[in-house]
Amino acid sequence: MDLTTRYLGLQLRHPFMPGASPLTADLDMARRLEDADAAAIVLPSLFEEDIVHYETTADHYLEQLFHLKKRLAIPVIASLNGTTPESWLRYARLIEQAGADALELNFYYIPINLTEDSRCVERRVVDIVAVLKESVRIPLAVKLSPFYSALPHLASQLARIGADGLVLFNRFYQPDIDPERCEPSMQLRYSDSSELLLRLRWIAILSGRLQLSLALTGGVHAPIDAVKAVLAGAHVVQMVSALMIGGPRALGAIREGFDRWGDEHGYESVREMCGAANLARSADPGVFERGNYQQLLRSRGADFSWSGH
């Protein structure tokens, strides 16, 4: 099967790449990932807070990006998380100058202000992307959380102002509560395949309806997970937890299993597979809406037998 795909205007050998994580920050590990046949790599995010506290952080990030571009033959996608319009613009330009093939805009923002409404939250995203599209030439992908109140509308706005792609979804590290100390407790928890479902639903809803690239990230741990992602409409699949657990070889295993599944099911290319199970091609669009939810509840209710009074 022809595994080639296009993402953010980049021609890739196949859809599989490591997403933003500490793995891609290390030159030796990045080369191991390339040797394991990664189609591209996404660097960890440059956070504005880190720059404020450690002035050398940005210089180190840009130097690392420069060296990765010189040592790797695959595309290198940078990632940026800002808090002010000025920082988004300044560092996006520096990242472009350092040679990044594309830039992932990581909108990791948690609104906790009681007076900030959803329109303000979404407008901030749209305004920043609009400014960056006017100011840098490299392709821009927007990495979003699943918590926007009208995600398709926001996605269509981003497509209209020229965003080159969406990355769905940002995975928040949510604090637990330490009941003895009565304070938040941070724990690193890797994803598993159960987290894939939310991403499949929204990728399938947006696929074929917007003129931009779609990347799925979160929950891909096995070849069949990758198959579902592409059938839903993902042009590329980003993996982090699977690689943190299984190392670079996990990427090759998923690619090989994906290729084998496609051959066995008669697909000639990733392009043919992409979006085959999306909303736009569905014979029953209601499966993505309320109707399927109601039908599922009724079918499960019929499975129960009650005794007593």
The pTM of the full predicted model, rounded to 2 decimals, is 0.92
Distance CA(287)–CA(135), nearest Å, equals 41
Average pLDDT of the chain is 92
- For domain 5-301, give the fold: TIM Barrel (3.20.20)
CB atoms within 10 A of CB 2: 13
Residue 77 and residue 43 in contact, taking contact as beta carbons nearer than 8 Å: yes
Q: Which two tokens stand for residue 159?
A: 């497509």
Class of residue 105 by CB neighbours under 10 A (exposed 0-12, middle 13-18, buried 19+): buried
Give SS3 for 296. helix
Distance CA(12)–CA(94), nearest Å, equals 25
Give SS3 for 39. coil
Q: Highest-confidence range of 162-176, 184-198, 207-221, by mean pLDDT?
A: 207-221
What angle is formed at CA 131 by the lines to CA 201 and CA 207, rounded to 5 degrees? 20
| CA trace torsion 243, 246, 247, 250 (10° rounding) | -70
pLDDT band for position 3 (50/70/90)?
very high
Angle between helix axes 151-160 and 196-206 (nearest 10 degrees) is: 50
pLDDT of amino acid 290: 64
pLDDT of amino acid 83: 86
Task: For 61-90, give the DSSP string.
Answer: HHHHHHHHHHH-SS-EEEEEE-SSHHHHHH
Q: What is the pLDDT of residues 74-98, one digit of tens each?
A: 999 999 999 888 999 999 999 999 9
- N- to C-terminal Cα separation, the chain: 59
Q: Among 88, 106, 134, 93, which Cα is nearest to 42's?
A: 106
CB atoms within 10 A of CB 198: 14
- Which one has a higher pLDDT value, 295 or 14? 14
Could you tell me the maximum CA-CA distance found in the chain, to the nearest angstrom?
74
Q: What is the pLDDT of residues 56-72, one digit of tens each?
A: 899 999 999 999 999 99
Q: Among 166, 245, 224, which Cα is nearest to 8's?
A: 166
Q: Which residues pair with 140 in a beta bridge?
A: 103
pLDDT of amino acid 10: 98
How far is Cα of residue 134 from the mean position of the Cα atoms in its chain?
Answer: 23
Q: What is the pLDDT of residues 225-283, one digit of tens each?
A: 999 999 999 999 999 999 999 999 999 999 999 999 999 999 999 999 999 999 999 87
| Domains of the chain, residue spans | 5-301
How far is Cα of residue 288 from the mean position of the Cα atoms in its chain?
Answer: 21
Give SS3 for 125. helix
Residue 178 reports pLDDT greater than 80:
yes
Q: How far is CA 261 from CA 215, 274, 275, in A?
A: 20, 14, 16
